[in-house]
Amino acid sequence: MARDREQPISDAVIKRLPIYLRYLTYLDRMGVRTVSSHQMGKDLGLNPAQIRKDLAHFGEFGRKGIGYEVRYLIKKIRQILHLDQLIPVALVGAGHLGTALARYNAFQQDNMRIVAIFDHSPLKAGREIDGIRIQPMEELQPTVKEKDIRVGIITVPDYAAQEVADLLVEAGIEAILNFAPTIIHVPPHVRVHHADLTTELHSLAYYLRQPEYLVM
Amino acid sequence: MARDREQPISDAVIKRLPIYLRYLTYLDRMGVRTVSSHQMGKDLGLNPAQIRKDLAHFGEFGRKGIGYEVRYLIKKIRQILHLDQLIPVALVGAGHLGTALARYNAFQQDNMRIVAIFDHSPLKAGREIDGIRIQPMEELQPTVKEKDIRVGIITVPDYAAQEVADLLVEAGIEAILNFAPTIIHVPPHVRVHHADLTTELHSLAYYLRQPEYLVM
């Protein structure tokens, strides 16, 4: 869907779609059938006009006076994000964060599925996380090809992140989600997103009460 | 700073500030002294006009033809987000994600510092993560008061999240970062942000090549 369009959709719009999806999935679980952009904006802390504009990039999903049909919009956003197909994912780094992600992923029963886990430590290779065997790094390249893995998640320490990224790129991966607190460089045909666990924490601090004795 | 203003700043603006901060900190580490909103927009996938507008809410930080001074802007954003003061944080749930966060936090040497970790499991209580002792849940209330803890991070399973949120609110916490994959409810004076590890992964999927054989 995304390739034939004249004007590319901005990254900011694409980054908001999963937030809409998560919210709508919650509404669906609560039995809500339709929702207005006004209500969405209120619940998500976003401008309703922006939400309407974001969604209008992809089609006419809303109806005047009714709003959006929750299930239909979920289906559409999943299509737009390519989440209606199975996307095999490899995770590199079976430390605490990697283990948490592998378990979380299994729990969510998502179409983006971690199908292989790699770790450089011989102590970890052979162990399992939720039924997936941890493989040594040497098996990364053949496994990526064999299992048609398209996305890599990096959960290694910062000093090892670039090396792992290079291996993933060499193996033919198309996109990388990097949790290591450093910037990694990849060729232009590979997409990288940086996930930072502290971003949400930092924006929370803004809302704390200011102690009276503090001079700013 | 945030309270005396006539018009409240939208949540969307506040959520972008930590992204600017992370980016600027990276530039500073690379030795970059000034940056234009145009360059920032390009690197962050955001509209330069939006960046200028976001920052203009808080003052006149940029200079025509020069752009923003990196270190000055870092200092200002840290002030705006209240990150120039020490903010004690409690973490509840010493599983894999909690452990990863506690370690990550220590590594970052942030002003938002995890100073207490709680877990309901008697097997975990007494153990340490990077020098911080895991305490039983019964000690949450007195410890929050004693250490003047203002922010709580929830990394327990989804079914336990609401109960933990209630305990944190009762103990007097002002803000909560919830990593459990569920919505939690709190009184209006408490701020909640939901951190979802899958959001970035989902927006990545959009950029994958579409196989030719797939009919959308």
B131-173 tens-digit pLDDT: 999 999 999 999 999 999 999 999 998 899 999 999 999 999 9
Residue A48: its pLDDT value, please?
Answer: 92
pLDDT band for position A210 (cuts 50, 70, 90): low
Residue B120: its pLDDT value, please?
Answer: 95
- Indicate the residue of A80, A104, A208 with minimum beta-carbon distance to B174: A208
Instruction: Estimate to the nearest angstrom the gap between the alpha carbon of B6 and the chain centroid.
Output: 25
What residues of B are in contact with residue A47 (Cβ under 8 Å)?
A: 10, 12
Instruction: Estimate to the nearest angstrom the gap between the alpha carbon of B8 and the chain centroid.
Output: 20
Residue A146: its pLDDT value, please?
Answer: 97
Report d(CA A109, CA B67) in Å as an integer.
46
Tell whether pTM > 0.90. Answer: no
Q: Can you tell me which residue has the tokens 């719009």?
A: A13
Residue A155: its pLDDT value, please?
Answer: 95
- Domain at A11-80: CATH code: 1.10.10.10
- Indicate the residue of B101, B112, B208 with minimum beta-carbon distance to A82: B208
Min CA distance, B139 vs chain A (Å)? 23
Residues of chain B with CATH 3.40.50.720: 87-201
- Indicate the residue of A3, A103, A198 with minimum beta-carbon distance to B108: A198
**CATH superfamily name and code, A87-201:** NAD(P)-binding Rossmann-like Domain (3.40.50.720)
pLDDT digits (tens, 9 = 90+) for A159-197: 999 999 999 999 999 999 999 877 788 999 999 988 877
Q: DSSP letter for B95, please.
A: S
Residue B117 contacts A, CB cutoff 8 Å: no
Residue B37 contacts A, CB cutoff 8 Å: no
Report d(CA A117, CA A137) in Å as an integer.
9
Report d(CA B186, CA A125) in Å as an integer.
43
> Do the chains contact at A97 and B104, CB–CB below 8 Å?
yes
Q: DSSP secondary structure string, chain A?
A: --SS-SSPPPHHHHHHHHHHHHHHHHHHHTT--EE-HHHHHHHHTS-HHHHHHHHHTT---EETTTEEEHHHHHHHHHHHTTTTS-EEEEEE--SHHHHHHHHHHHHHT-SEEEEEEE-S-TTTTT-EETTEEEE-GGGHHHHHHHTT--EEEE-S-HHHHHHHHHHHHHHT--EEEE-SSS-----TTSEEEE--TTHHHHHHHTTSPPPTT---
Residue A173: its pLDDT value, please?
Answer: 96
Residue A105: its pLDDT value, please?
Answer: 62
Report d(CA A29, CA B187) in Å as an integer.
22
Report d(CA B114, CA B108) in Å as an integer.
11
HSE, CB side, 13 Å, CA atoms: give it for residue B145.
Answer: 6
Q: DSSP secondary structure string, B148-216?
A: T--EEEE-S-HHHHHHHHHHHHHHT--EEEE-SSS-----TTSEEEE--TTHHHHHHHTTSPPPTT---
What residues of B are in contact with residue A50 (Cβ under 8 Å)?
A: 12
Pick among B53, B85, B202 to test the A interface (most A CBs inside 10 A): B202
Min CA distance, A66 vs chain B (Å)? 25
What residues of B are in contact with residue A195 (Cβ under 8 Å)?
A: 197, 200
pLDDT at A123 over 80: yes
Min CA distance, A191 vs chain B (Å)? 7
- pLDDT string in tens for chain B (216-residue length): 444 445 678 888 898 898 899 889 889 988 999 999 999 988 887 889 999 999 998 888 888 888 999 999 999 999 999 998 889 999 999 999 999 888 876 556 678 889 999 999 988 988 999 899 999 999 999 999 999 999 999 999 889 999 999 999 999 999 999 998 777 889 999 999 888 778 888 888 888 876 544 444
Residue B63: its pLDDT value, please?
Answer: 84
> Do the chains contact at B209 and A174, CB–CB below 8 Å?
yes
Q: Are B216 and A79 in contact (CB under 8 A)?
A: yes
Report d(CA A151, CA A172) in Å as an integer.
9
- Indicate the residue of B82, B97, B196 with minimum beta-carbon distance to A206: B82
Residue B151 contacts A, CB cutoff 8 Å: yes
Residues 56-75 of chain A with CB under 8 A from chain B are: none
Residues of chain B with CATH 1.10.10.10: 11-80
Residue A123 contacts B, CB cutoff 8 Å: no
Residue B198 contacts A, CB cutoff 8 Å: yes
Q: How many helices (H) and strands (E) does chain B have?
A: 8, 10
Q: What are phi and psi of A35, to 5 degrees?
A: -145, 140
Query: Would you say the ipTM is above 0.85?
Result: no
pLDDT at A76 over 70: yes
Pick among A207, A209, A213, A214 to test the B interface (most B CBs inside 10 A): A207
> Do the chains contact at B174 and A83, CB–CB below 8 Å?
no
Residue A3: its pLDDT value, please?
Answer: 43
Burial track A2-33 (b if 16+ CB lie within 10 A, e otherwise): beeeeeeebbbbbbbbbbbbbbbebbeeeeee
